Amino acid sequence: MRIHGYLAFLVGVCVTVWVCLFVMEVQDQQIRNGFQRDTEKVARDTTLRLQTYFDMLLSIKGVFAIGQNLDRAAFHRYVRELNLTERYPGFQAIQFVRRVPREQLGTYADAIRRDAALQAGGYPEFKIHPASVQDEHFIIEYNEPMRGNENAFGLDLAALPMHYEALRMGRDNGGVIATERITLVQDASGQPGFVARLPVYRPGVVLDSLASRRAALVGFVAIVFRVNNLMREVIDSPLLGHLYVRINDGGYLRDGGTAAPSLDNLLFDSAGKAGEARLPALPGLSRRVSLNVGQRRWLLQFEGHAGQRYGRNWMVIGVSGAAGVIISALIAALLVAWQRRRALARELRNALNEQRAFQDTAVVGIGLFSNGLILRCNRGLEEMTGYPGGGLVGMRSSVLLRAGGAIDPFACGPCGEPAHLELELLRRDGSPLWCMVNGRRLDPEEPAKGCVWVIADISDRKAAEAALVETKQGLERSLADLAREKARVDEAHKELSSALAALKQAQATLITSEKMASLGALVAGIAHELNTPIGNSLLTVSALNDMVADFERKLAEGGIKRSTLDVHLADAKAACTIIAGSLGRAADLITSFKQVAVDQTSDQRRRFHLASVLHDTLATYAAQLRRVSCEVKVEVPEALDFLSYPGSLSQVLSNLINNAILHAFEGRAQGLITITARAEGEEEAVLEFSDDGIGMGPKTLRQIYDPFFTTKMGQGGSGLGMNIVYNIVTGVLKGRIDIRSEPGRGTTVVLTLPRRVPARELEQAA
């Protein structure tokens, strides 16, 4: 009991101290919130008051836009009607600054002296000050009110650097521009001030350039402030007894506006000059705010002082401490029970977390289904079916099934026997999902509690089975085709027939691939090229067979002469020479085409020589080029090597050759194609493909890369050739393409290609 009492006492003391600290923290938070609101109100009120003045400048500018020659009396009446001294006090003067070229300065001064629109007799004592020599002058012409601001009348701002800089900035950007901290000429007290000005341009001029704004400038409307007067109007006087406010000018935004606060840029100090009456700031009650004022950044520093506004209420703290002592006894009595309940709750929470983690980390879906509803499920089932966390709970189980099923597969058997079946479910996006499902009642004695189902994704297995069946059928068909083909061909021409079958197979594959479409056009040419050497070989073999039969007959008759033997040997030797030459030509064609076909179908990155790839590609087009009487001249260095994609480069060359054959030589008996290449430094090479054909007009040249654009629609042109060339050159080969052509002067395609192309992501992953 003593231990319990001691513990209760300690707990009571701790609770009391905690309550007091909590109340103090609450009060401190309220003090900080109040300080935050006060500073935001000052910053907001300052912004709104300045924006009101700037809007007034816009209204005066609008008056000048209506009538450029607004006289002094009209300006005086307009400012008086605004009634700003009563509605928005805090400013010193409203002015109009006239831009006067140097050659008009004397005439301008005389006109002001004779101006009697507002004052009888004009202003005979008017003079421009200070005297200076400038290309242009900016003179304060209108000054409202005039009383108290006489020193500013006739002031030439072009002679004052800080004013002149602000004027030029405002002239060029057309917005409100403020000066830095200045001492007003009409103020003998030396208080900080600033001037905000807005440029006025000649009406009807398009101000879309810097030159047009400079040429159209008439002058500026301006408002002059004493910052102390301005802020005394903005900030409530009672608030200044608790809140310290200091404003410094950080500079123009174009220069960063990051000037450090100092006496030189001090605009306002609520504690007097340089903070002479400044009180110590309370901890945590200090804040800085920046405002954008006429394209300058003002830095506002706030500090809260001790007092009624930002002080603590110790009476509330004392009452809270007493209340803490009273309730500490109850807390001590409940402490033991709370500790026991907390331990039990922790154990229960840990058990639930372990069970939930076990379910959510399972690679299979687990769900509790009852009467067609999903009561609970783990994260695995939601991820498997594409639903967000908690998205399946409470939904009908039919959302996982195809519509139209009359039987609910998630209902256990009538006797509670386990269920095991393969089932096609639906994901959230409607895609099918093959699963292996196993179900069992949660409580065999109470069917209403539902069934627990374990659902495993077997989509990959189903896809693999379907792929195996399809592959098996394809292999069976292929074996049957090969057996029939083998029965029809002669053993002596097995290698050539296999090559032709490979070409046909390549042609069929290329039909299904847009990228390899150009190889299909080569098959006919290669077959035609192969027909001549193969036909010559067959004819020569047949003749040789007849000669051998005749020789055997004569040998059997026993009448062979040496001359007959010599003739037979010479004929046999000639036949062998013809057969060897024809088969060699066929082998070269097959080798070239095989290299082109392998490169274009595999499209693997490898090292190669440009001359070799060009030779193989041209060899496959020999028949087509002869058919149109096209001569090809090649000037490519043998040593110009690449580490790139020869298949893609070969496809580009194939499309260019096809385009030249189809389009360039229409209506001509013969043509010339010139292919040159040269190295550009160590990293690039330039490949030029030129023809002397009919060329292209500007319209065709602009649309040359558009997909499905062709001038031979329905005559053999698909409109994809140059689109594929552009995509391969810029995408796969990482190069650039340029086409130059004029009607009647042929076409030149210039490819600038890197000689070392990095491997694509798929190849790097492999």
Return the closest-CA partner of residue 377 out of 402, 400, 348, 351: 400
Q: What is the pLDDT of residues 614-630, one digit of tens each?
A: 988 888 888 788 888 89
Cα–Cα distance for residue pair 166/148, rounded to 1 Å: 24
Residue 748 contacts residue 699 (beta carbons within 8 Å): no
User: Which amino acid is residue 272, in one-letter code?
Assistant: G
Q: Where are the alpha helices (DSSP H) in 361-438?
A: 379-385
- Scanning the structure block, which residue is given the tokens 């242009």? 136
> What single-letter amino acid sits at 416?
G
The C-alpha atoms of residue 391 and residue 360 are separated, in whole angstroms, by 14
| Residue 185 pLDDT level (bands cut at 50, 70, 90) | confident
Nearest one of 728, 673, 719 to 700, comparing CA atoms: 719
Is residue 559 scored above 60 in pLDDT? Answer: yes
Q: Are strands 747-754 and 684-691 parallel, antiparallel or unpaired?
A: antiparallel
Query: How many Å apart are CA 213 and CA 199, to the nearest integer?
Result: 9
Residue type, 42: V
Report H helices in 630-677: 646-659
Q: How many CB atoms lie within 10 A of CB 508?
A: 11
pTM higher than 0.75:
no
pLDDT number for residue 449: 78
608: confidence class by pLDDT, cuts 50, 70, 90: very high
Phi, psi of 176 (to 5 degrees): -70, 135
Asked if 655 and 634 count as a contact pair (C-beta separation under 8 A), the reply is no
pLDDT at 751 over 90: yes
In this predicted structure, the answer to whether residue 515 has a pLDDT above a threshold of 50 is no
Between the CA atoms of 69, 73, 76 and 77, what dihedral angle is there, to the nearest 10 degrees? -100
Task: For residue range 298-342, list pLDDT tens digits in order.
Answer: 999 999 887 778 777 666 666 666 666 666 666 666 666 666 777
Longest CA pairwise span in the chain (Å): 154
- pLDDT for res 763: 58
Kindly tell me if the per-residue pLDDT of 167 is higher than 80.
Answer: yes
φ/ψ of 153, rounded to 5, equals -65, 125
Q: What whole-number distance in Å separates Cα of residue 287 and Cα of residue 302? A: 5
* Strand spans (E) along 574-624: 606-609
